Structure 1
Amino acid sequence: MDSADTTVDGEDVRRIVTLAAGVLHGADPQAWEAKAGTLEWTCWETLEHLADDLFSYAVRFGLAKPPTDTLLPFRTSTDRSGGPANVIFVDRAAGPAGLLTVLEACGGLMASVLRTAPSTTVSYHVFGPSDPEGFAAMAVVETLVHTHDITRGLNRQWSPPRELCERVLRKLFPHVTICGDAWDNLLWATGRTALPDRPRLTEWRWYGTRSE
């Protein structure tokens, strides 16, 4: 892989969502109510949030000309005070298998939309308007780090593809110097861990604004 490669597309989204669903499949059903890593959300809530991210990213590009200064006007709600505000919620009766099905469906929707969206299309994000490739990278980062959060709560191991971690780091975190393992660097860049020479971040962001 070219060390400067920042290309990310819908197939990368589909791939990482499939890998995430695979590592989460078969976990103890009772463990889904545990906290997801350092988050204040449960593992179930965090995966709903991830599915909601993928859905909300995808529907932006259902419009020929998406808004660049505001979100689409979906009504969001929460199941509890302090829980994530989502459009997407999963029927609890469907259990973890249903939750993972919704995740894969939202990931597939995102991948499909990215395949057809004109590369010049730009849509709103709180960190700055971005194009389909930027949103593909955002979807990959959300999946990587929230799967990390959830696997900590479920006591599972998550070791994602390093080349993909490196690409999204270069795409969305150009301010981060990559030293050593790209996955460790991504966890540091998203406030999940400290590195030997870098304390854990208490505030962080990515830079997805489209370069003209």
Structure 2
Amino acid sequence: MSGAGSSGTAALERAGAETVKRAVQLDVACRFQESLVCYQEGIDLLLQVVKDGKYHKQIRIEENATGFGYEKLFHKYLTEIVSEVWVEDPYIRQLYNFLRFCEMLVKGPCKVKKIHLLTSCDQGSRSEQRVALEGIKQSLSNYGVTLSIEFSSSIHDREIRFNNGWMIKIGRGLDYFKKPQGHFSIGYCDLDLRPCHETTVDIFHTKHTKQM
């Protein structure tokens, strides 16, 4: 975002967030009528941010930063109406990370039924890649989720899209976590505790982009 338009959008976003925060405080204090008014005003302000056609949020993940597990990064955008997800990433090589992403989708609160993966073929371990992806596909089917897998030799961009209109672009794709120091080191299981590589996350609403 840039210029007067972006500053106006930022101001709306801040005002909306502060109003919702005030609504929560009133709710806790059992002042329900006042909290309802604040909730409505806050939501209206935040909807204006989306409707003005300039929504763009950027998150900078610093080298060795922690606290950026998938649920923390995506939960705001995985609303209950999300039923279909597109993942485009030419270099998904840490397939356990893709599996963790799928696990997050299965847990909800979204009701995902279809996941589309577009990636490139790993020439170094093609058979292992296909076996792993087929394993994830079969496991997802046990939860009523269909995984479609396509390979492309020309794909370059990395992005994740939800059918509620949100698009997330991560510079390193899903593989922005560093390797754990060992199988029994903190952060091996909990990605919130895993140090990250430096990367940038850009979040858009696709209503205001040329795609989709």
Give the TM-score normalised by structure 1. Answer: 0.24
Whose relative contact order is higher, 1 or 2, with alpha carbons under 8 Å and at least 6 apart? 1
Higher Rg of the two aligned structures: 2
Higher helix share: 1
